[in-house]
Amino acid sequence: MGSHCVARVPRVEASGVGLGQLATVTASATAVAILTPSQPADGITPSAKTNLVYALGTLGYDFGSEARRDSFKQLMPNVQIDGTTVPANPYDARQMADYLEQNPSEAKSLIWTLNQELTPIYAIDPKGAFAADVYETLQAVLAGQVQPQDSEDYIERVSFPGRLTDRTIELFSGQVVPVVTLPNIRGMYGWKINSLVSAAVETVSSQQTSADEIRLRRSLNSFLQRVYFDLQNLGQIYKDRALNFAATNAFQAASSFAEAISRGMELDSIEVEKSPFCRLDSDCWDVKLKFFDPENGSRAKKLYRFTIDVSYIIPVTLGKVRSWSVPK
């Protein structure tokens, strides 16, 4: 992500022979009986279908009940405020981050949430052999979010790739949110918008004048803010996962903006559509950034396209950025 991205931490999936694929052979028969997923063994229930999610937002936590909240209040140490000792406040994210740093196992007792505009949209459920790593990363992201905004460690946005389950959980407020499982920390990122912009600009700065670099920073920041707020989504459908990854991996967008800005153009629209070409067993989507000349309305617009494969739990970029002129 770049040296400025604070919490970039490497998700994995268990592999092996599934129960629905076991073959049995008897000595008295030459036929092989294959147990298919549509023919589950007695006593075995096929696993629930899950969907891929790649969502952006901020990290939060919830207690679910008064009893669980009070258990944290009882276990967390008192704090000093202006020389006065006061009871711990489990709603204070700074106190909670410090407490979890000293007591990492306590992270499992919280309901972790991904929020958009202070509203929880998912409950995060670390699962599998790397669950402890995921909880450690959640604590680090929470600690980064409470840092001063001018700190190098400040985290403003996070991305979480996971699998949507058929489960829901009720929060303390009574709101019910779907549960997303995180198998490991691959693809989990935390960043500050300005730091992400700076890292992206550095990749193309050798081609820019000082004035162009200022415009590039402004345009990239505007692009990211537009994705975060105007185009914010749940990250479930394919095109939304592609768009969210484009905002996370801003380096390809930076190359598009750099060339367009050198031509005196500004961002007009952001579109995501199914790619007409794709490699085998992939699901490719084209992110199209269209630019216009604000001083010459008759000038043809410029379109920049890059392709993202969303078939895996972590989206990946394919090929180079392509560009061409389009009618206004």
pLDDT tens digit at each of 328 positions of the chain: 444 444 444 433 333 433 333 333 333 333 333 333 334 444 434 443 348 999 999 999 999 999 999 999 999 999 888 888 899 999 999 999 999 999 999 999 999 999 999 999 999 999 999 999 999 999 999 999 999 988 888 999 999 999 999 999 999 999 999 999 999 999 899 988 888 888 888 877 666 667 678 888 888 888 888 899 999 999 999 999 999 999 888 877 888 888 888 888 888 999 999 999 899 989 999 999 999 998 888 889 999 999 999 999 999 999 888 999 988 6
Residues 82 and 129 occupy one common structural domain: yes
In terms of C-beta distances under 8 Å and separation of at least 24 residues, what long-range contacts does 62-70 make, across chains too? 62/110, 62/111, 62/112, 62/113, 62/120, 62/123, 62/171, 62/172, 62/173, 63/90, 63/110, 63/111, 63/172, 64/111, 64/169, 64/170, 64/171, 64/172, 65/172, 66/172, 68/109, 69/172
126 and 181 share a domain?
yes
Are 178 and 201 within one domain?
no
Structural domain tally of the chain? 2
Structural domain includes residue 9: no
* Residues 161 and 259 occupy one common structural domain: no
Model-level pTM? 0.78
Strand, helix or coil for residue 296: coil
Residue 100: give the domain boundaries: 19-191
